[in-house]
Amino acid sequence: MIQTEIDLARPDYLPESFNRAILSGALFTGQVPDKVLLAGTGGGSTARYFGNRFPDVVGDAVDLSPIVLDIAQRFFECLNGEYWQLIEADIREYVKNCPTRYDLIVMDIAVGQASPDWITGPLFLNGC
């Protein structure tokens, strides 16, 4: 199964349908968010998309794995700089201690092929 895919010639395009699906909820807000939290960076295709499609959006991409964050940056052109930050942290702890208010929180976390139970639990969702 493909976990991350980018089109080098089209940085503002998400080739994988599941990436487009997780962003579909944003279509109903009628506005581009100012501040985005991406929980689960993976290869960084979603952060890359936001950074290229909406260059004024500021975002934080949080992942537990420093190896994944390194791969996202080195091989998948994931942005890390003025507008986007790659943050190594457990998202559960990050949302508890983060003073930032986000307009959009995107969950892209899977264990195996499923979302972990804690993602839909009240403790985590209240923290978000």
pLDDT for residue 1 = 61
Residue 9 covered by a domain: no
Question: Which positions are catalytic?
Answer: 108
What is each CA distance from 52 to 57, 78, 90, 123, in whole angstroms?
9, 10, 26, 33
What is each CA distance from 97 to 41, 76, 93, 110, 127, in whole angstroms?
19, 29, 6, 22, 9
Count: domains in the chain? 1
Residue 15 covered by a domain: no
Residue 55 covered by a domain: yes
Residue 88 covered by a domain: yes
Residue 45 covered by a domain: yes
* CA torsion, ordered 14, 19, 23, 24, to nearest 10 deg: 90
Residue 27 covered by a domain: no
pLDDT for residue 58 = 93
Cα three-residue angle 65-66-69, rounded to 5 degrees: 90
pLDDT for residue 88 = 95
Task: Note down the domain range covering 60.
Answer: 33-127
CATH number of the domain bearing residue 108: 3.40.50.150
* Mean pLDDT confidence for 91-105: 91
Residue 26 covered by a domain: no
